[in-house]
Structure 1
Amino acid sequence: MIPQLVTASYRRRNGRWLRLYVPVLPVLLVLSPLLLLVVLGGLVACLVFRVSPVGALRGTGRLLWALPGSRFELEDGQMAVLVSVR
């Protein structure tokens, strides 16, 4: 299952959290022309570095399949960032 929603939270200086909800599918549709260029660039990189394009595509698919349910938290002093993939 591909991710449906990415939630990014950022703690402001006053201690309150700012949350951003990013739906994946509409963003993917808007950026689809660039996605084609990225795929072509990835194929060229696979040929240059002699990596199997099928293996690279399979690895990318497994990475995307494992993303739902992931949480990434970064905290340094007063700054904190939380990214949650659903």
Structure 2
Amino acid sequence: MMPQLVTVGVKRPDRRPIRIWVPVLPLVLVLSPVLVLAVLGGTVACHVYRIDAVRALGTGWRIVSALPGTRFDVEYSRTAVLVAIR
């Protein structure tokens, strides 16, 4: 299943925390022309490096499908960035 929502939160010490919800489907629809170019570029790269393009696309889809439930936190100095993919 494709991820549906990405939540990004930024915690700063002297300011209010910021939380942004990004719906994935509308973002994919808006960026679909770029996505088509990326797939074509990836196919050409697979051909150059002699990799099976269908298998590479299938592997990429499996990685995207495994993203829901992923969460990672990055802390640098006193600022923290929290990302959750649902």
Question: Normalising by structure 2, what TM-score?
Answer: 0.93
Please give the root-mean-square deviation of Cα atoms over the aligned residues, in Å. Answer: 1.1
Alpha-carbon shift at residue 64 of structure 1 (Å) = 0.8
Cα shift readout 1:2-54 (whole Å, capped 9, x = no counterpart): 00000011112415321110000000110011111001000011011111101
The alignment partner of 1:42 has SS state of: helix
After the TM superposition, which parts of structure 1 deviate over 3 Å for at least 4 consecutive aligned residues? Answer: none
Equivalence for 1:83: 83
Aligned equivalents of 1:29, 1:57: Cα separation in 2: 19
| Identical aligned residues as a percent | 53
Equivalence for 2:49: 49
**Structure 2: gaps (5+ residues):** none
**Structure 1: gaps (5+ residues):** none
Aligned equivalents of 1:65, 1:78: Cα separation in 2: 33
Aligned length: 86
Equivalence for 1:72: 72
Aligned equivalents of 1:59, 1:15: Cα separation in 2: 41
